[in-house]
Chains A and B, each alone.
Chain A
Amino acid sequence: MFYREAGQYFGSYVQDRQLLPLRQDRIGMALMLAGAVVVVPYVASDYWLSAILIPWLILALVALGQNILMGYAGQLSLGSAGFMAVGAFACYNLILRVPGIPFLVAVALSGVCAAAVGIVFGLPSLRIRGLYLAVATLASQFFIVWALDKFGWFKNYDTAGVVTAQHIVILGHRFTAPWEKYLLILAIVAALTLAAKNMARGSTGRAWMAVRDMDVAAEVMGLSLLRTKLQAFAISSFYCGVGGALFAFAYLQTVEPSAFSIELSFRVLFMVIIGGIGTILGCFLGAGFILLMPVFLNTVFHAFLGKAVDSSIASALEQVIFGVLIIGFLIVEPLGLARLWQLTKERLRLWPFRH
């Protein structure tokens, strides 16, 4: 009932090919964006903005980068946290060493730096595939974090190796309040998500998917494997780099290599798998699940069991339940949370009938 397309006719190809062809989707998206821009900054507390929404948006962006490479182009990669580290350190150094550089330019350039590094580490993808490629990209993770640790220049010779990120200043305005940072990040993430969606459904995305499904066939059809694969690596790393810069500047407020450990790479990978491989929506759902579920469990456990059960057991139980939930979701829907949403939509279309 809610998702009936009846009565909606397309008079031109432009209408037919638009981003959200269904009126209900357009209205829903407009309401959601309006809510995110207008309502959320007013309603949400500082805790929700700075500890939940900001990291969620940023990690969704990183998951998007990972998904472009893994879900669309089919190149299994494990180096997303490494590319985030490149972005974070590039942003720090650009602001430190280039006087008067605008923040947004610095963020974009850190994305470009990450993309350049991504291309270098993407080169092995021309010769190896699948799990072997994942192992090869693992090298990028270790190498980047090691190099950032090893050479003091990156950290401006800070004795402790943890540098404080500079303030975010745009057009003379300093972004300190959580709602300001939230809106800034929302704008960046929304723009990059739109770009990703358009890439994924355009010729670029079709080329990625052709390579993913069978690279020999794609080559026979005239696609340059070199170009397509490296392009996917570059764009993916760009997203990770921007995400890393935002993660360091708007969330952690420190720039430190150990924040971008292999563990974070795995978490990003899980976000993509749980959310849905090869979907844009899945990145947001997966990031939400992996990031927020432990926090949610912790809150619930400490509120209800904290007094009754020993807190060490409660903390351990949280991890057990989190693990069980991941397994449960993958059994119920191996295609991820995005697929669950799709099934719900199909059901809403038929509702109140069953078939």
Chain B
Amino acid sequence: MRVDSIIRRGLRGVLAVATIAATALAATPAAADEQYFGVPSSRVGPYAAMGTGYYGGIIDYLNYVNLKFGGVNGVKLTWEECETEYNAARTVECYQRLLKKGDQKMVVFDTLGTPGAYAVIGRMAEDHVVLAQYGYGRTDAADGRVWPWVFNAAGHYWGQIAVKMNFMAQQEGGIEKMKGKTIVHLHIDTAYGREPLPAMREICKEWGVRLVEIAIPPPGLEQQSQWLQIRREKADWVTFWGAGSGMNSTAITTAARVGFPRNRMVYVTFGGAEEDMIPAGDAAKGTYVAANAAPGKFPLIQDIEKVVYSAGKGNMQNPERVGTVYYNRGVGAAVMWVEALKNAQRIHKKTGKTVNGDEFRDGYEALDISDAKLKELGILGMSAPFKMSCTKHDGSERFRMMQWDGKKFEMLTDWVAAPDPKFIRKLIEDSAAKYASENKLTPRTCSS
């Protein structure tokens, strides 16, 4: 019988593969002086450009620390990858899979995506894992009293929108000139796209700006009707909050088709990279982007090229992408992991030893990245200086504005802050307090 033999052969195959998997799943014992990191990468699907660059940067930096310094004070860095496809359910699976490896436990998790961050954010306190949102994720987690385990070392979306509004006001010639203007917030229809809205609505109300919110259903490859609506609304500015190079470049080409000037469009950090501009061709010229990690061959990036890539151990499939926006952002994120690890070893007197989640959390909270420190690391100008504290779990809240010149980004400003940081801080604390009361949490008390 044909079917029989197929089953028999199939069964044999299944058995063979199952054996392979069983050996794969079997824990590999880790030596005492290793620090294990889980890397939930997203290398396929519409967000692949972002994921390959970002996680490539992270892995390259970890590799760099191992190759150049032999790890952190002798502690070798190890990591394991898991593919999330930028999908919340898969992120939860990856989180659980990466959580433990042998006798080591993950200390930090970085989803590079707001949907994934929201899906795991509730598990951090229970599992003693730091959620390092590097410039994305839940904004009110910047209140460390309510969210002891969540950090954002690169500035959040509320700070970002405030910086952008300020930039627009500068271009118009002052805040008073903004009165009566129309801003369209064109966003992908997910939590990430709506994240800046609470702050944006408040600022617009204060300035007397008319805010029009237009949503694009994901994956956002068709935006004709949205851009025609933008024309009808006679928008002065568009803040674009997209995800994935397909959607981001489509916005530019569609804007060009309906004749909306590109130098009136301000892109979000996660939509404004070389990979998002190049597909749009010449149409992209003039687009503004806010950056939390500036592109360029900073000293550290050059050193990574020298140490990692000349040894043939680079993670980027296309070495040309080293030094681009997403790559540098990944390097920035990994620098914070390693600096936090150094702090943790110092604070808990475990120099040269593996630290656990609690110790790593203390180390991350003690991050004090000054200009001098950035210079020492070789990334002065790439990341903004900041200092964390028990209450303040966000980064500098400063961004650099840049403009695409058709081939590369041109930096327009140095790190600029939101005009009224206290106002954003109040929004954050109100929102965090609302969350705490809804979920019956008692915020911890902080001395600083």
Q: Give residues in A with beta carbon < 8 Å to B.
A: 45-47, 50-52, 55, 149, 156, 159-162, 164, 166, 176, 251-254, 256, 258-259, 261, 294-296, 298-300, 302-304, 306, 310-313, 315-316, 318-319, 332-333, 340, 343-344, 347, 354
Q: Are B118 and A312 in contact, with the CB atoms below 8 A? A: no
Q: Are B92 and A312 in contact, with the CB atoms below 8 A? A: no
For B17, list chain A residues within 8 Å (CB). Answer: 300
Q: Are B7 and A311 in contact, with the CB atoms below 8 A? A: no
Q: Are A299 and B438 in contact, with the CB atoms below 8 A? A: no
Task: Knowing A149-B189, A258-B115, A311-B41 are in contact, say whether A299-B97 is a contact too (CB < 8 A).
Answer: yes
Nearest neighbor of A315 in chain B, beta-carbon distance: B43
6 extra A-B contacts, CB within 8 A, seeds A256-B118, A294-B90, A312-B317: A51-B92, A160-B139, A252-B92, A258-B190, A298-B82, A315-B43
- 7 closest pairs, A vs B, by CB? A303-B24, A51-B96, A315-B43, A162-B118, A51-B93, A159-B198, A162-B191
Contact of B81 among A50, A161, A306 (CB under 8 A): A306
Whether a CB of chain A sits under 8 angstroms from the CB of B21 is yes
Q: Are B138 and A312 in contact, with the CB atoms below 8 A? A: no
Q: Are A312 and B195 in contact, with the CB atoms below 8 A? A: no
Q: Which of B119-127, B342-350, B368-376 contacts A (4 or more CB under 8 A)?
A: B119-127
Q: Are A160 and B41 in contact, with the CB atoms below 8 A? A: no
* 0/1 interface trace, chain B 165-197, chain A, CB 8 Å (1 if under): 000000000000000000000000111001101
Distance to closest chain B CB from A341 (angstroms): 10
Q: Are B7 and A295 in contact, with the CB atoms below 8 A? A: no
Nearest neighbor of B3 in chain A, beta-carbon distance: A343
Q: Are A311 and B81 in contact, with the CB atoms below 8 A? A: yes
Alpha-carbon distance between A354 and B3 when the two chains are bound, in angstroms? 12
Alpha-carbon distance between A303 and B23 when the two chains are bound, in angstroms? 9
Q: Are A176 and B126 in contact, with the CB atoms below 8 A? A: yes
Whether a CB of chain A sits under 8 angstroms from the CB of B25 is yes
Q: Are B115 and A302 in contact, with the CB atoms below 8 A? A: no
Contact of A251 among B7, B92, B435 (CB under 8 A): B92
For A156, list chain B residues within 8 Å (CB). Answer: 438
Whether a CB of chain A sits under 8 angstroms from the CB of B48 is yes
Distance to closest chain A CB from B384 (angstroms): 24
Q: Are A47 and B83 in contact, with the CB atoms below 8 A? A: no
Distance to closest chain B CB from A145 (angstroms): 9
Whether a CB of chain A sits under 8 angstroms from the CB of B1 is yes
For B126, list chain A residues within 8 Å (CB). Answer: 176
Distance to closest chain A CB from B79 (angstroms): 10
For A311, list chain B residues within 8 Å (CB). Answer: 41, 43, 81, 315
Q: Are A254 and B24 in contact, with the CB atoms below 8 A? A: no
Alpha-carbon distance between A259 and B102 when the two chains are bound, in angstroms? 32
For B118, list chain A residues within 8 Å (CB). Answer: 160, 162, 254, 256
Q: Are A251 and B81 in contact, with the CB atoms below 8 A? A: no
For B92, list chain A residues within 8 Å (CB). Answer: 51, 251-252
Whether a CB of chain A sits under 8 angstroms from the CB of B439 is yes
Alpha-carbon distance between A333 and B7 when the two chains are bound, in angstroms? 10
Nearest neighbor of A329 in chain B, beta-carbon distance: B10
Whether a CB of chain A sits under 8 angstroms from the CB of B417 is no
Contact of A259 among B48, B89, B99, B100 (CB under 8 A): B89
Q: Are A254 and B4 in contact, with the CB atoms below 8 A? A: no
Whether a CB of chain A sits under 8 angstroms from the CB of B20 is yes
- Interface residue count for B (Cβ, 8 Å)? 54
Contact of B197 among A159, A254, A299, A332 (CB under 8 A): A159
Alpha-carbon distance between A30 and B358 when the two chains are bound, in angstroms? 44
Contact of B100 among A47, A164, A298, A300 (CB under 8 A): A47
For A50, list chain B residues within 8 Å (CB). Answer: 96
Most B Cβ at <10 Å: residue of A47, A52, A160, A315: A160
Contact of B122 among A164, A300, A310, A343 (CB under 8 A): A164
Q: Are A300 and B81 in contact, with the CB atoms below 8 A? A: no
A-B contact pairs, 28 of them (CB 8 A): A46-B96, A47-B96, A47-B97, A47-B99, A51-B92, A51-B95, A51-B97, A55-B93, A160-B118, A160-B139, A160-B195, A161-B191, A162-B118, A176-B126, A251-B92, A252-B119, A253-B119, A253-B123, A254-B118, A258-B190, A259-B89, A300-B17, A300-B21, A302-B82, A302-B83, A304-B24, A332-B3, A343-B7
Whether a CB of chain A sits under 8 angstroms from the CB of B356 is no
Distance to closest chain B CB from A354 (angstroms): 7
* 0/1 interface trace, chain B 21-60, chain A, CB 8 Å (1 if under): 1001100000000000000010110001000100000000
Distance to closest chain B CB from A327 (angstroms): 14
For A159, list chain B residues within 8 Å (CB). Answer: 140, 194, 197-198, 431
For A47, list chain B residues within 8 Å (CB). Answer: 96-97, 99-100
Q: Are A312 and B123 in contact, with the CB atoms below 8 A? A: no
Alpha-carbon distance between A316 and B20 when the two chains are bound, in angstroms? 20
Whether a CB of chain A sits under 8 angstroms from the CB of B228 is no
Nearest neighbor of A156 in chain B, beta-carbon distance: B438
Nearest neighbor of A160 in chain B, beta-carbon distance: B191
Alpha-carbon distance between A326 and B202 when the two chains are bound, in angstroms? 50
Alpha-carbon distance between A149 and B82 when the two chains are bound, in angstroms? 30
Q: Are A312 and B119 in contact, with the CB atoms below 8 A? A: no
Q: Are B44 and A319 in contact, with the CB atoms below 8 A? A: yes
For B416, list chain A residues within 8 Å (CB). Answer: none
Nearest neighbor of B430 in chain A, beta-carbon distance: A159
Distance to closest chain A CB from B278 (angstroms): 18
Alpha-carbon distance between A253 and B90 when the two chains are bound, in angstroms? 13
Alpha-carbon distance between A315 and B96 when the two chains are bound, in angstroms? 19
For B119, list chain A residues within 8 Å (CB). Answer: 252-254, 259
Nearest neighbor of B91 in chain A, beta-carbon distance: A252
For B88, list chain A residues within 8 Å (CB). Answer: 252, 254, 256, 258-259
Contact of B6 among A160, A296, A306, A332 (CB under 8 A): A332
Alpha-carbon distance between A261 and B191 when the two chains are bound, in angstroms? 13
Distance to closest chain B CB from A350 (angstroms): 10
For B405, list chain A residues within 8 Å (CB). Answer: none
Distance to closest chain A CB from B236 (angstroms): 25
Whether a CB of chain A sits under 8 angstroms from the CB of B80 is yes
For B218, list chain A residues within 8 Å (CB). Answer: 258, 261
Distance to closest chain B CB from A52 (angstroms): 8
Q: Are B52 and A312 in contact, with the CB atoms below 8 A? A: yes
Distance to closest chain A CB from B10 (angstroms): 8
Alpha-carbon distance between A156 and B437 when the two chains are bound, in angstroms? 13
Task: Knowing A47-B100, A55-B89, A300-B24 are in contact, say whether A254-B80 is a contact too (CB < 8 A).
Answer: no
Distance to closest chain B CB from A127 (angstroms): 28
Nearest neighbor of B157 in chain A, beta-carbon distance: A160
Alpha-carbon distance between A249 and B218 when the two chains are bound, in angstroms? 25
Q: Are A295 and B93 in contact, with the CB atoms below 8 A? A: yes
Q: Are B44 and A315 in contact, with the CB atoms below 8 A? A: yes
For B121, list chain A residues within 8 Å (CB). Answer: 164, 254
For A254, list chain B residues within 8 Å (CB). Answer: 88, 118-119, 121-122
Distance to closest chain A CB from B301 (angstroms): 20
Distance to closest chain B CB from A46 (angstroms): 7
Q: Are A299 and B25 in contact, with the CB atoms below 8 A? A: yes
Q: Are B115 and A253 in contact, with the CB atoms below 8 A? A: no
For B435, list chain A residues within 8 Å (CB). Answer: 164
* 0/1 interface trace, chain B 331-364, chain A, CB 8 Å (1 if under): 0000000000000000000000000000000000
